[in-house]
Amino acid sequence: MIKPDGSQPPGPNTDAVPGLQGSVDGAVHKYMQSKRSAGLAVGVIADGEVFSFFHGSNGRDGSATPDENCIFEVGSITKVFTATLLADMHLRKEVHLDDPVNKYLPASAKLPSRGGVDVTLRHLATHTSGLPRLPENLSGTNFNAANPYAHYTEEDLYVCLAKTRLTSKPGTKSNYSNLGFGLLGHVLAKAAGTDFETLIKQRICKPLGLIDTTIHLSQEQQQRLAAGHSGGKRVLNWDLAALAGAGALRSSLRDMLRFLRANLEPSSTPLEAALNFAHEIQTERKYRFYRDFGCVAPLVVAGLSGVFVWRSFGLPVWARVTTILAIPAVMFYFWPLGLSTMTLGWHVDDLLCDKPVLWHNGGTGGYASYMAFLREPPHGVIVLANSDQEPDSVARKLLQGLPSKPAG
């Protein structure tokens, strides 16, 4: 149970989940061997218990390891906060999922439609808006590659939107868009009459007791900020101005575990309705076998078989050639038109544990993160890194290794 102040009982001994310590050590070992790695803060929720593990260096105090209060940039995990905020505001009837985005924009920044369909808030929250990944005018006069979003203003955003042309009809194709989620955070704040950071703190952080989840750090929090690294070297922190909803949040493992537990146990929080609503499937991939590049191996096998193996069965050359061409053609014909399985903000993967897993990762110039959970059994993992080396494989391996049934 998450208390009103967000506090939780201290994590128990890892013996409560047999083999957990070994699983963590095994998952982390290869990651930490890389010269690109710095430090890791790993959180696991299993069998109703919360566990924390720390490796490497916080990059700030010599060889000191991170701890539960160490603050990281969480990057695109911000997007699930933005989407949960949308769910909450929808349920409060302050906005509606199918409101056109233009309803909240000035006349000078109206988005075009495509195929007679306007971009809606739902499209932004599911990456089906047809907006490009990044604003075309991101590289403006004040652009700094070491902190690329810092000088991107509301005025820049409006100029971009007025000139944007959608790449697809809204609702028909998934196209991951930082621009889209940045825009979503912007219009939600406009609808509420405040700024994005204040809105997130009031609607999400305060009800869940998240005391270190913020954009602008206090002086005390700055002392707990892990130093970000890229390629083994320390780099600048990133600041997202007008596109804050896409990835501006910073947080600690303690807070991220509270947020993760809230998603596992919505009924224990004041945000039960919003969290449950944010978990509902909005778009769905029908042909999951071909997820990502899962078709490459069958294509190679079909091609080699057609050239070498099937000759022994007496197939004429024309039949072998036809097979080599036909199999890829059929596969690509049934390739999904681009819709990924998503809730509001969460990606959904049912290949990881043969059960629906909700997940999101994140990355900035010197940090990377990954959060994933499944509701039944209620298991979850959060990994925060103060380097740009993705910890996705660490988190997935951990989640796969957790017991499939709660301990009896």
Q: Would you give per-residue pLDDT tens digits along the chain (408 residues)?
A: 333 333 343 444 455 565 788 878 888 988 999 989 999 999 999 988 999 999 999 998 777 999 999 999 999 999 999 999 999 999 999 999 999 999 999 999 999 999 999 999 999 999 999 999 999 999 876 889 999 999 999 999 999 999 999 999 999 999 999 999 999 999 999 999 999 999 999 999 999 999 999 999 999 999 999 999 999 899 999 999 999 999 999 999 999 999 999 999 999 999 999 999 999 999 987 654 444 445 555 556 666 665 565 555 566 767 666 766 666 665 555 554 567 899 999 999 875 556 789 999 999 999 999 999 998 889 999 999 999 999 999 999 888 888 665 444
Instruction: Measure the CA–CA gap between 238 and 375, rounded to whole angstroms.
Output: 33
- Give the residue among 233, 226, 229, 249 at the shortest CA–CA distance from 83: 249
Q: Spell out the residues 6+ positions from residue 80 whose beta carbon is closer than 8 angstroms to its own.
A: 278, 345, 346, 360, 371
Q: Which residues contact 13 (CB under 8 A, 6 or more apart)?
A: none
The DSSP secondary structure of 36-47, one letter per residue, reads T--EEEEEEEET
The class that CATH gives domain 80-201 is: alpha beta
Give the span between the Cα atoms of 17 and 70, in whole angstroms.
Answer: 25
Helical segments of 92-153, H only: 121-125
Instruction: Please give the distance of CA 127 from its chain centroid, rounded to a whole number.
Output: 12
CATH of domain 39-77+213-282+345-401: 3.40.710.10
Element (H, E) at 71: strand 71-73
Same-fold call for 39-77+213-282+345-401 versus 80-201: yes
Interacting residues of 118 by C-beta distance below 8 A, sequence separation 6+: 100, 101, 102, 111, 170
Collect all residues with Cβ–Cβ distance below 8 Å to 292 and sequence separation of at least 6.
none
Which residue is it, tokens 């009459």? Answer: 193
**CA 408 – CA 395 distance, rounded (Å):** 25
Q: Are 302 and 328 a contacting pair, CB within 8 Å?
A: yes
The residue ranges of every structural domain in the chain are 39-77+213-282+345-401, 80-201, 288-333
